[in-house]
Amino acid sequence: MRRHLLLQDLLLILLLVLAVEAKASGPAKSGVTAQVWAKSIIAQMTMEEKADFLCGSSCPLNDALKASASTKEISRLGVRPMVTSDGPAGLRILTLRPTDIETYYTTAFPIGTSLASTWDVDMVGKIGEAFGQELKEYGVDILLGPGVNIHRSPLCGRNFEYYSEDPYVTGNIAAAMINGVQSNGVGTSIKHFAANNQETNRHSINEIISERTMREIYLRGFEIAIKKSHPWTVMSSYNKVDGSFTCERHDLLTDILRDEWGYKGFVMSDWDGGVTGNNRSDVVAQISSGNDLLMPGYDEQREDLLKAMKSGQLKMADVDRALEHILGIVYMSPAQNKYVFSNNPDLKAHAELTRRVGAEGMVLLENRNDALPLPKSSKVALFGSTSYAPITGGLGSGDVYKAYVAPVDKGLKNEGIVLDSNLADYYAAYLCYPYHTSEDYNYINEDQMNFNVDCLNTLAAANDEAVITLGRLSGEGSDRKIDDDFKLKPFERRMIENVLKAFHAVGKKVVVVLNIGGVIEMESWKNEVDAVLLAWQPGQEVGNSIADVLTGKVNPSGKLTMTFPKKYEDTPAAKYFPGEPANDPNVSYYKEGIYVGYRSYDKQNVEPSYEFGYGKSFTDFKYSDLKLSSNHFSKQLTVSVVVTNVGRYAGKEVAQLYLSAPAANLDKPVKELKGFAKTGLLQPGESETLTMTLLPKDLASFYTNQEAWIADKGEYKVLIGASSRDIRLQDKFVLPKRMMVEKVHPAFEK
């Protein structure tokens, strides 16, 4: 007994010595490992300090930046506060501070959907690097992003922050972003874990989702990203799954996240996550299930934590484990290591990058008779308020305080396009900018479109083409509507019709540019116009990026990461979204199961307006020489394909690998995306070989009755497509024996 005590004492003394050393130089520099440092701090913390530390708070820097919240400081032990800040499309900090007259702008990067539409992990990685530099140089330790929830319904108000309807694209784009940000020595918070797919009643909605659907669709993107990029933190979501808040689910936050996926960082709640009233949440359930940090942190939660520790309701082992997770990240943070930030990130370089990547994410949906690129020095009648006051990104925590927004009219002028100045003057009278709410934007649109026939005929006579920009703005806290949002507004229809009539009457073309953050209805009008460029909301360089594509300086190479349906009723969750009762739902049944996005359109044989993976180019590509490294699968298989530019313009192509698995005893999607690769800029006549790799889990489906990912034996079809419905080449391989890929913990309701 005595000997045991002595050893413990010695250990404590050693920890104290190390802690003193780490306090002086910053822990990472002192040679002490994160675990030893964290343990040494925990050993010295009082119960009050522990309760305090499990709740977020604010700190002077946080207040100055108006960043989201920080972790707690324990000055007695030399633990410094880490600052966290939103959000997925740029660092959200205030431009002005009370203490000086400087400005602290950040870059509005392209929204998540736009980034994903590049299908270019290298480019997204570069955005991540730039993003991370802004964090580090403004003194922020952790970015509250990326957002990786699945586009279950086109109406979700935050889809613009998220990447795709497909978990494979989502996971790989997110991994690139996280690796890029974290290469600066700052952290990310992948969010919202999990199944935060609607804004309606987001704090309380109870989602009834099968385990297979969770694992194959709503968790898979997180899994891919977390395994490939090790985000410093994970943010749990607001919603419930099968009756419990995600921030209280041990199966999700510990069994799956840590035990199955090997996650090592910490989990924070979303802001007020699990709070049911009076700033109180079930803190015992949260901490013991693995939600390590409560954000933004309330006094009531601290009190409850302390009480629960004292009564033994909350085990000290669970408390210490949560503390160790948080301190393990504090250890690496710039704040703890006394990084002296410059307040001077390279905003100019980041703007240039944004311009390039914004253009790269644009999807050319239609281009009849080579309407685009616009001929050099064209005279253009530019319609639509978003041509003059474009939308850079969505609203809410994903919004950014940027230094400027590049409008489309200026962008086009700079590229040599001659604009009809009458229209610019006309619109100037209506604009109200910036848009603080979606009403700001909607308001201007209501009034402005009173062009009469004579006026349009004059414009058609005086110009070579018409370009119409249509915008959409949505954000946190509410979902989009079908009328006047998913569907065109009456005045938008009128404008398209009238402009078409006037311009087509004199043989001139009409191009539509979509400055939107989510899917809209296009079936009723897409065939009338000559070209449609889906520009998304590509960040602060919006007008320049659009001009680059319209004028052909950049050949569009983006592809859709979601399906555009012919009508809302075709979308797989249409009957169930946003839940029951419809006017104020408290429960949402995910009855479409794993059949989300193209998985549903394929299965139900429903023709979409534009399919997942679709996107045109000014040039054409030929696919050839599909090669599989083997026609039998054992541990992995390599697929290669040659892509050749057979058209007139230099361009890039995204090749997609879909796998069609043998059905065996399980209902499976017709095909699923399991690989993609993008060429470099291919000159006419030039070829590139693209290589993709299939791993066992890519073959597997989740068998709930066996709690396992299993790859069934049989024939697997490899489909190489320019989109999910434009399959250019195919081959097959055989899995000779059923393969148990991974056995997992039972989770969720069955």
Between CA 88 and CA 641 the distance in angstroms is 34
**Nearest residue (CB) to ligand BGC, 144 versus 596:** 144
Interface pick for ligand BGC out of 52, 73, 86, 282 (rule CB under 6 A) = 86
**Nearest residue (CB) to ligand BGC, 91 versus 351:** 91
Tokens at 420, concatenated? 């009809």
**Nearest residue (CB) to ligand BGC, 191 versus 508:** 191
The answer to whether 49 and 359 are in contact (CB under 8 A) is: no
Buried b / exposed e across 455-465, counting CB within 10 Å, b at 16+? ebbbbbeebbb
**Nearest residue (CB) to ligand BGC, 188 versus 544:** 188
Q: Is 617 helix (H, G, I), strand (E, B) or coil?
A: coil
Q: Which of 52, 86, 141, 270 is catalytic?
A: 270
Interface pick for ligand BGC out of 137, 199, 251, 270 (rule CB under 6 A) = 270
Between CA 503 and CA 456 the distance in angstroms is 8
Interface pick for ligand BGC out of 151, 191, 212, 599 (rule CB under 6 A) = 191
Least distance from ligand BGC to the Cβ atom of residue 358, Å: 22
Which residue number has the CB closest to ligand BGC? 144
Least distance from ligand BGC to the Cβ atom of residue 38, Å: 25
Between CA 433 and CA 431 the distance in angstroms is 6
Q: Does 144 bind ligand BGC (CB under 6 A)?
A: yes
Site string for ligand BGC, 629-668 (x = CB under 6 A): ----------------------------------------
If we measure between CA atoms, which residue out of 353, 321, 295 comes closest to residue 110? 353
- Site residues for ligand BGC, 725-744, by CB under 6 A, read none
Q: Does 197 bind ligand BGC (CB under 6 A)?
A: no
31: left (phi over 0), alpha (psi -120 to 50) or beta: left
Least distance from ligand BGC to the Cβ atom of residue 295, Å: 7
Least distance from ligand BGC to the Cβ atom of residue 143, Å: 9
Interface pick for ligand BGC out of 71, 159, 286, 397 (rule CB under 6 A) = 397
**Nearest residue (CB) to ligand BGC, 199 versus 712:** 199
**Nearest residue (CB) to ligand BGC, 239 versus 645:** 239
232: left (phi over 0), alpha (psi -120 to 50) or beta: alpha
Least distance from ligand BGC to the Cβ atom of residue 161, Å: 8
**Nearest residue (CB) to ligand BGC, 397 versus 469:** 397
The answer to whether 37 and 56 are in contact (CB under 8 A) is: no
Q: Does 206 bind ligand BGC (CB under 6 A)?
A: no
Kindly write down the DSSP assignment for every residue of 581-607, as one continuous string.
STTS-SEEE-TTTT--THHHHHHHTPP
Least distance from ligand BGC to the Cβ atom of residue 191, Å: 6
For the beta carbon of residue 619, count every other beta carbon within 10 angstroms. 19
Tokens at 47, concatenated? 């119960």
**Nearest residue (CB) to ligand BGC, 271 versus 709:** 271
Interface pick for ligand BGC out of 30, 62, 68, 515 (rule CB under 6 A) = 68
**Nearest residue (CB) to ligand BGC, 91 versus 144:** 144
The answer to whether 595 and 603 are in contact (CB under 8 A) is: yes
Strands (E), 66-146: 69-70, 83-85, 142-143
The answer to whether 682 and 644 are in contact (CB under 8 A) is: yes
The answer to whether 140 and 339 are in contact (CB under 8 A) is: no
Site string for ligand BGC, 475-504 (x = CB under 6 A): ------------------------------
For the beta carbon of residue 262, count every other beta carbon within 10 angstroms. 10
**Nearest residue (CB) to ligand BGC, 271 versus 618:** 271
Least distance from ligand BGC to the Cβ atom of residue 441, Å: 21
The answer to whether 269 and 247 are in contact (CB under 8 A) is: yes
Kindly write down the DSSP assignment for every residue of 194-238, as one continuous string.
TT----TTTTTPEEE--HHHIIIIITHHHHHHHHHH--SEEEE-S
- Residue 225 phi, psi (nearest 5): -65, -45
User: Which residues face 743 on adjacent strands?
Assistant: 708
- Strand 714-723 vs strand 654-660: parallel, antiparallel, or unpaired? antiparallel
If we measure between CA atoms, which residue out of 499, 411, 513 comes closest to residue 463? 499
Least distance from ligand BGC to the Cβ atom of residue 478, Å: 13
Least distance from ligand BGC to the Cβ atom of residue 147, Å: 7
Q: Does 281 bind ligand BGC (CB under 6 A)?
A: no
Q: Does 271 bind ligand BGC (CB under 6 A)?
A: yes
**Nearest residue (CB) to ligand BGC, 87 versus 154:** 87
Q: Give, in degrees to the nearest 5, the angle at Cα 111 between 679 and 71.
A: 120
| Sign (positive or negative) of CA dihedral 189, 190, 193, 197 | positive
**Nearest residue (CB) to ligand BGC, 144 versus 214:** 144
Kindly write down the DSSP assignment for every residue of 332-362, as one continuous string.
TSTTTTT----S---HHHHHHHHHHHHHHT-
**Nearest residue (CB) to ligand BGC, 188 versus 600:** 188
Size, binding site for ligand BGC by CB under 6 A: 8
Least distance from ligand BGC to the Cβ atom of residue 271, Å: 4
Least distance from ligand BGC to the Cβ atom of residue 237, Å: 8
The answer to whether 14 and 39 are in contact (CB under 8 A) is: no
Least distance from ligand BGC to the Cβ atom of residue 519, Å: 21
Q: List Cα–Cα distances, 720 to 86, 173, 278, 657, in angstroms.
A: 37, 20, 55, 5
User: Which residues face 471 on adjacent strands?
Assistant: 515
Largest CA distance in the chain: 100
Between CA 464 and CA 550 the distance in angstroms is 14
Cβ neighbors of 529 (< 8 A, separation 6 or more) are 366, 496, 500, 510, 511, 512
Q: Is 507 helix (H, G, I), strand (E, B) or coil?
A: coil
Buried b / exposed e across 397-410, counting CB within 10 Å, b at 16+? bbbbbbeebbbbbe
Least distance from ligand BGC to the Cβ atom of residue 22, Å: 30
- Annotation marks residue 270 as catalytic: yes
Between CA 660 and CA 629 the distance in angstroms is 18
Site string for ligand BGC, 591-630 (x = CB under 6 A): ----------------------------------------
Tokens at 356, concatenated? 């390039």
Catalytic positions, please? 270
- Using CB under 6 A, list all residues that contact ligand BGC: 68, 86-87, 144, 191, 270-271, 397
